[in-house]
């Protein structure tokens, strides 16, 4: 049972990481201005590297049937505000959660907590910035097709990297890391996928591989 998770960037786990990335042109309509082309893979900066530094090792197209593998950097669409990347899924994170937060309660109804380290990069933002907690929805979709939301699962302090609610507003060029956390029926964890959805008028989704 894993008790530790690895950051998508392969670095020591930290609550927030800020690094420069290449800024793209500002979108006039903010979140509603996503291209309809669907999920796109993003080449790692500086060329190829290890899986932890952004190397693509697949094939995957970001759909539920063919999700992006761990370590892939991807966008909702070509003009997306966010670039996303995940690390390895912890299929039973209760030991790590309870060791960090003695006030946390085990998941109810025969569910267990599943976590994944997430890295987001802000490609662009208006003058007030964008908050990933309010502009990105995170769900775990089981192999049987049931969906479980991170926003209704883990309302307590999480171990490092912490929660998406700790990140707050991000501006173009910023990046941050956090844990996605979902309560899922134990028998349905294996073979699931992580679905990240853009919250906006032209909402798009992208899928990443979950627990094997």
Domain membership of residue 168 (yes or no) is yes
pLDDT in tens, 66-87: 999 999 999 999 889 999 999 9
The rounded distance, in Å, linking the Cα atoms of 167 and 159 is: 14
DSSP helix/strand/coil, 92: coil
Q: In the numeric block, which tokens belong to residue 17?
A: 């990481």
Domain membership of residue 75 (yes or no) is yes
- Around Cβ 80, how many Cβ atoms within 10 Å? 24
pLDDT in tens, 125-136: 777 899 999 999
Domain membership of residue 25 (yes or no) is no
**What confidence score (pLDDT) does residue 65 get?**
96
Tokens 């990481």, residue located: 17
**What confidence score (pLDDT) does residue 35 get?**
41
Domain membership of residue 193 (yes or no) is yes
pLDDT in tens, 150-169: 999 999 999 999 999 999 99
Give ∠ CA 160-162-167 in degrees, rounded to 5: 135
Domain membership of residue 118 (yes or no) is yes
How far CA 188 is from CA of 82, 92, 99, in Å, comes to 29, 12, 24
Residue ranges, the chain, pLDDT below 50: 2-3, 12-36, 46-57
Domain membership of residue 11 (yes or no) is no
Q: How many domains does the chain have?
A: 1
Domain membership of residue 144 (yes or no) is yes
């Amino acid at each position: 049972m894993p008790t530790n998770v690895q950051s998508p960037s392969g670095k020591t786990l930290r609550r927030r990481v800020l690094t420069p990335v290449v800024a793209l042109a500002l979108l006039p309509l903010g979140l509603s201005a996503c291209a309809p082309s669907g999920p796109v893979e993003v080449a790692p900066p500086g060329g190829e590297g290890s899986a932890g530094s952004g190397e693509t090792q697949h094939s995957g197209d970001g759909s539920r049937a063919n999700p992006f593998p761990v370590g892939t950097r991807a966008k909702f669409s070509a003009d997306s505000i966010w670039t996303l990347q995940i690390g390895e899924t912890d299929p039973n994170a209760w030991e790590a959660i309870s060791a960090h937060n003695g006030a946390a309660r085990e998941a109810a109804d025969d569910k267990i907590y599943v976590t994944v380290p997430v890295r987001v990069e802000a490609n662009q933002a208006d003058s007030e910035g964008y908050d990933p907690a309010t502009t990105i929805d995170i769900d775990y979709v089981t192999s049987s097709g049931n969906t479980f939301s991170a926003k209704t699962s883990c309302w307590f302090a999480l171990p490092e990297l912490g929660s998406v609610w700790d990140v707050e507003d991000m501006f173009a060029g910023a990046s941050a890391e956090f844990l996605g956390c979902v309560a899922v029926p134990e028998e349905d964890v294996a073979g699931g996928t992580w679905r990240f959805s853009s919250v906006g008028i032209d909402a798009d989704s992208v899928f990443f591989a979950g627990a094997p």
